[in-house]
Amino acid sequence: MAYPYQSYFPQYQPQQQSTGLIWVQGEAGAKSYLVAPGSTVVLWDSEAQTVYIKSADATGMPSMRILDYTFRDTAPQKRPAAFSEAGAEIPTREDIKALQRQIDELKIEIRGKNDDSE
């Protein structure tokens, strides 16, 4: 037996879980997305690493800013190769001061030799 009123009721479709993000396809999709006057929406590009911030002023005139984003590697940074070699140590502040004293002494010695040759 057919139910005559069956076609008048909308078919139930399971609702997709909302993530709160609005996805568009490319810049063309962002440009065609309608924004209510006086509001701003953030649109995520499903084809590229791009975010569109689209606004409409009180009269409904739209404007859009485009942001490209990159992912950062969260792995710990490797130490420079000079310090990763076996037996290599990171110089201390005292080591650096001692090296600076040696450089200063060499500068004085070089100046003295230059003065003697004139």
pLDDT in tens, 47-100: 999 999 999 999 999 999 999 999 888 877 766 665 555 666 788 899 899 999
In a domain, 59, yes or no: yes
- Which of these, 24, 56, 20, 23, lies nearest to 39 by C-alpha position? 56
Q: Whole-model pTM? A: 0.49
Domain assignment of residue 48, yes or no: yes
Evaluate whether residue 25 is within a structural domain.
yes
Residue 96 falls inside a structural domain = yes
Q: Which domain holds residue 28?
A: 20-69
Is residue 36, in this structure, part of any structural domain at all? yes
Is there a domain that residue 76 lies in?
Answer: no
User: Phi/psi at 9 (nearest 5 deg)?
Assistant: -100, 135
Residue 10 CA to residue 67 CA, distance in Å, equals 40
Are 25 and 64 within one domain?
yes
* Tally of domains in the chain: 2
As a whole number, mean pLDDT of residues 6-24 equals 62
